[in-house]
Amino acid sequence: MKLYTLCGADPKQRFSPHAWKVIMSLSHKRLAFEEYPTAFTAIPNVVGSFSPTVPVLDDGGQKVRDSFEIALYLEETYGDRPSLFKGEGGRALSRTIEGYSQWIVQPALMRIIGKDIHDCLAPEDQSYYRESREKRFGMSLEALVENWESELRAFPAKLEPIRHALKFGPFLGGASPLFADYILFGAFQWARVVSPKPILTPGDSVSDWFERCLDLYDGIGRAAAS
């Protein structure tokens, strides 16, 4: 199994939140895989026209793109391995949690680390990243992160849904993690890998949960260069 992920100028600096969801999911299912960290501008060279973005999973020639689609594929194909959803309800509700990560957590993080991502890329990828993101956000990267300090102060309140769930178990999935945990892990790992900014506060239950996630699967998350 081959997994194409995203990297900065240093191939060990693998920062894509969506790729991390898949790295954790493959590990959860105890599936061996070879990771191919890929720079933004090299994606067409490695996955051709199959997908404009990574992660892309190549499972013996069967290619799958999009982190949630890959999780669904793994759950279906490797149904005898530990479940990523624990039932139909878990599968459906993971979409609301994906929406929360994608539309509340990640946009806030982007206004904190958006320029740090740029700074860890190779020159040709910096140009691509700056142009595509400045178009998407309708402002310069510098303007995007201009108020990062107030954004960071407002950030803990946005994590209350996670904090609430952690009153009832060590993971969002309960006693053990599910894909929903990896969805949000991906967002915080993204920030951790590209930025030295103190995103989570030690002693906060969200920070404790993130540390537990970093320890999973022989510390595969913790081993990422940051």
Tell the smallest beta-carbon distance from residue 66 to its own copies (Å).
12
81: left (phi over 0), alpha (psi -120 to 50) or beta: beta
For the chain, state the CA radius of gyration. 17
CB-CB neighbours of 31 under 10 Å: 16
Report the candidate in 205, 202, 203, 153 with the shortest Cα–Cα distance to residue 184.
205
Residues 44, 99, 198, 219: which binds its own copies (CB under 8 A)? 99
Does the footprint of its own copies cover residue 173 (CB under 8 A)?
yes
Does the footprint of its own copies cover residue 201 (CB under 8 A)?
no
What is the rounded distance in angstroms from the CA atom of residue 193 to the CA atom of residue 23?
15
Report the candidate in 88, 61, 62 with the shortest Cα–Cα distance to residue 75.
88
Q: Which of residues 141-170 bind its own copies (CB under 8 A)?
A: 157-158, 160-165, 167-169
Does the footprint of its own copies cover residue 174 (CB under 8 A)?
yes
Token couple for 193: 């890998």
Does the footprint of its own copies cover residue 102 (CB under 8 A)?
yes
Q: How distant, in Å, are the alpha carbons of 88, 121, 134, 145 from that of 115? A: 39, 10, 11, 7
Tell the smallest beta-carbon distance from residue 153 to its own copies (Å).
17
Say how many residues touch its own copies, by CB under 8 A: 37
Question: Could you tell me which stretch among 12-20, 24-32, 94-102, 133-141 binds its own copies (CB under 8 A)?
Answer: 94-102
Task: Convert residues 49-88 into a mask of x (bound to its own copies by CB under 8 A) and - (unbound).
Answer: ----------------------------------x-xxxx
Does the footprint of its own copies cover residue 24 (CB under 8 A)?
no
Tell the smallest beta-carbon distance from residue 162 to its own copies (Å).
7
Q: How distant, in Å, are the alpha carbons of 100, 104, 200, 219 from that of 40? A: 25, 24, 27, 26
Residues 52, 61, 79, 89: which binds its own copies (CB under 8 A)? 89
What is the rounded distance in angstroms from the CA atom of residue 95 to the CA atom of residue 109?
20
- Contacts with its own copies by CB under 8 A lie at 83, 85-100, 102-104, 157-158, 160-165, 167-169, 171-174, 178, 180
